Structure 1
């Protein structure tokens, strides 16, 4: 079978193109290569995959090379529209309408065919717009988080890809330099360009036509921002990503590019060697891992979750919590019960007041990690929490392990210990009875709205990106 040729529609169009150019009918060509004309018709319509030997016979009869038939490009503008219509009619969006598929005849005018393709594109665009809602985003994010839990947050294929890219630019030790990232981009045919007018809804923009990756002029705090953003942009190309057809696909792509960037900034072999050495000395610390590779505390903690279970034989959890107590990002495979809503989503849920993720905000000295043991219904956990600051607010980054694995970490000797019975409302969600009696119905608070949770994302080709602003930017820089 032609295993390397997956686009049967294009293959069929190319066979038809060369058959009609050579003046063959279906029956005449079929007779020449030893098959019925009806079977050949199925192949030309993308309904049957031909054997390589049959393709060789067809090519020889028509006087072309097999490579001409296997060329992935449509043979003509008309064929390109017919292929696009076929693909769009096979989509789940169109299938859900229950409408019959339209087969473009030879007599169908090009403008009619173009109108049909345009209608399908608009249908797909509206479908993407409809799913970029908070509910869909939370559902897709929950499914992805649950999937990554089954994988122990580890993606070996991307680890291998990152290692290969680093080998190609000669990086073996120390923090990854901006020069090495630029060399990686150059090998893929891209130039890194720093501009001050990126669209507000983007972190970077890749101009595929002119081979440019546009980045902001200054790094975000922590020193790894520009490297990480450039690596994420390169990852889209290396991983073969296409424009996302759903919000779930958008989230999966974002997860994969973030993983690739982390695997480059904190390479597998060097990271595992560093962490195993620290574990042997019972001196594991996120802050040491962070400083060894010149990344942010959050990046180091997340990278630890990638490697801990597969390479260090320990289960872990990670939390990013806002100063209001809302959970913005969470992962666990150690049994810690993250707060969830009725759908299983964790985003925006309030974590227990007795967890270190909340208590760390009460410290006067926030330059060092805060350590704590927490007794929960699921067991006792040791946690390390560091406070960070963004343009909008402060947040905490927590990395933790079950009690039995605390012995490997610096800070295990802490005497800080709290008990949490959440999700029991009596733990920390209900006010003390005396205070409730005193103040109930005697005050009125104006709540701060979590707009990022309730508002739909701006619609566009990529969720959250303003197409008009994006295309204006590209046009303005295309001549520079």
Structure 2
């Protein structure tokens, strides 16, 4: 038995014993004499400092006119006992211990209102601690640790793959893109109904009403509505994967990665996806755009899914990049030793990638409707890559999938003659101005920098970072009657 659980059980037993004894109108001496045990021993039991044998408990239960089950129940005997037990448990915890304050021991004379105030203060302290804002350093460290863990397992999670395969098969899906109807069936099999609501709080993508078995999603008519399948699957994943309220920013990131992974596994089921990619490899014609179209997903989703399957099922290493039109790396994965830019902590998020890489040179092309191909010589070797550009309200971005030179033979676009040389992280590659330009303009220019708003924004707080609980609860209350 866990030590903390054992202490809690002994404390609850002691409170129940005292409750039944005083209700019977017996003193410690009187009950001790009737049960054949010293009053001092009974006192230790009532104070949770000694666990009695079952034979003694059976005798005590008989003398008190209750059953053994009554004594052993895990429920506090009354509201005051519940407060005393909770206060004791809280004061044994690491949060209270870190304050360096003395423990408060309730006595008969302690007013119930005082106990309520103390417990209420501790509850609020614990709530604020769990909702504390993660510092940028903590967030970057958590991101880096998660990326390194996924790299070590080749971005592959077999347990989630198997779970998704089973759920998709149970929906009746056979081939092709997973339909909205099949996603609805998957929800129904878990006891949920999908409801499309136009008044979802701005801070949420979906809301799951656990009490009434509903998953609320944005209206199906919104632009890019095909993403609703993924949102619904992510909401279901929390339940299927047994997620609890995240207790840290790192836990939040892990849960988000797992639900995204599960959704991708459902939209591009392993068996069908691997068969498609293996055939493309045999034809030496792997293309993210074909993979995307075959399963009706976004280019980024298809590219990320390829990173899940390529090493474990196609026997190849690769890299994935999402880069903004400002050159900043917003998402990245590699197990092919591509030298991604990092800061001193090892984090890649927000770092500027080399101007020579296809992920950035693609922005200079006028024709961006199809994938652009390029070979790049780097200090770590030569890499081939395919890049697709896109845009959002926040600006342009590129999605890149690349492989080492000897793996390019399996991909469409390997015949490209586009080639570049990157010497980064050597600053003379693309970060240091040419000597003649520097000599001409140094000290003669004063640019006004475009400040990225996210630089000054605090990391989102809350048990579910970034979510406004007030809006969520008001939404659920408004819809619970419907």
TM score, norm. by length of structure 2 = 0.85
CA apart distance, 1:449: 1.6
Does 2:182 align with 1:156?
no
CA deviation string 1:73-130 (max 9, x = no partner): 8776556656655665565444433445556567655433333333233323333454
Counterpart of 2:25?
A: none
**2:368 aligned partner:** 366
Q: 2:213 maps to what in 1?
A: 211
CA 1:380/1:109 → structure 2, altered by over 3 Å: closer, same or farther? farther
* Structure 2: distance between partners of 1:27 and 1:277: 81
| TM-score, length-scaled by structure 1 | 0.85
1:131 match: secondary structure: coil
Residue of structure 2 aligned with 1:282, choices 264, 281, 284: 284
- Greater shift in the superposed pair: 15-24 or 237-246: 15-24
Other-structure match for 1:271: 273
Secondary structure, aligned partner of 2:429? helix
In 2, distance between residues paired with 1:157 and 1:255? 14
Which residue in the other structure is 1:262 paired with? 264
Supply the distance in 1 between the matched residues of 2:238 and 2:89 (Cα, whole angstroms).
Answer: 23
Report deviation, 1:175. Answer: 1.4
Task: Verify the 8 A CA contact 2:356 2:420 in the aligned structure 1.
Answer: yes
Report whether the alignment pairs 1:437 with 2:442: no
Contact 2:337 2:380 (C-alpha < 8 Å) held by counterparts = yes
Tell me by how many angstroms 1:337 deviates.
Answer: 1.2
Does the Cα contact within 8 Å between 1:133 and 1:455 map onto a contact in 2? no
Deviation at 1:397, TM superposition (A): 0.5
Q: Alignment partner for residue 145 of structure 2, among 143, 146, 159?
A: 143
Q: 1:317-332 to 2 correspondence within 5 Å? A: 317-332=319-334
Which of 183, 187, 190 aligns to 2:189? It is 187
Distance 1:298 1:222, change over 3 A: farther
Residue 410 of structure 1 and its aligned partner are, at CA, apart by 1.1
Partner of 2:469: 467
Name the SS of the counterpart of 1:184 in structure 2.
helix
Shift of 1:165: 1.9
CA distance in 2, matches of 1:116, 1:345: 42
Cα contact 1:375–1:419 (8 A) shared by 2? yes
Q: CA deviation at 1:404?
A: 1.5
Describe the SS at the equivalent of 2:215: strand
Alpha-carbon shift at residue 377 of structure 1 (Å): 0.8
CA 1:101/1:278 → structure 2, altered by over 3 Å: closer, same or farther?
farther
Q: Which residue of 2 aligns with 1:232?
A: 234
Partner of residue 174, structure 1: 176
The 1-side partners of 2:170 and 2:85 are apart by 38
Aligned 8 A contact 1:159 1:260 in 2: yes
Q: Distance in 2 between matches of 1:306 and 1:475?
A: 40
What CA distance in whole angstroms lies between the structure 1 residues aligned with 2:91 and 2:370?
A: 58
CA distance in 2, matches of 1:450, 1:434: 30
Alignment of 1:34-433 (within 5 A): 63=67, 81=83, 85=87, 88-89=90-91, 91-99=93-101, 108-218=110-220, 224-433=226-435
Q: CA deviation at 1:291?
A: 1.1
Count of equivalent residues: 468
Partners of 2:291 and 2:72 in 1: how far apart?
Answer: 53
Distance in 1, matches of 2:249 and 2:475, equals 24
Once structures 1 and 2 are overlaid, which stretch shifts more, 303-312 or 98-107? Answer: 98-107
The 2-side partners of 1:410 and 1:28 are apart by 90
| 2:460 counterpart of 1:454 | no
Flag structure 1 segments of 5+ consecutive residues without an equivalent.
none
Quote the offset at 1:41 in angstroms: 7.7
Determine the C-alpha separation between the residues in 2 that align with 1:74 and 1:268: 50
The 1:90/1:257 distance shift into structure 2, 3 A limit, reads farther
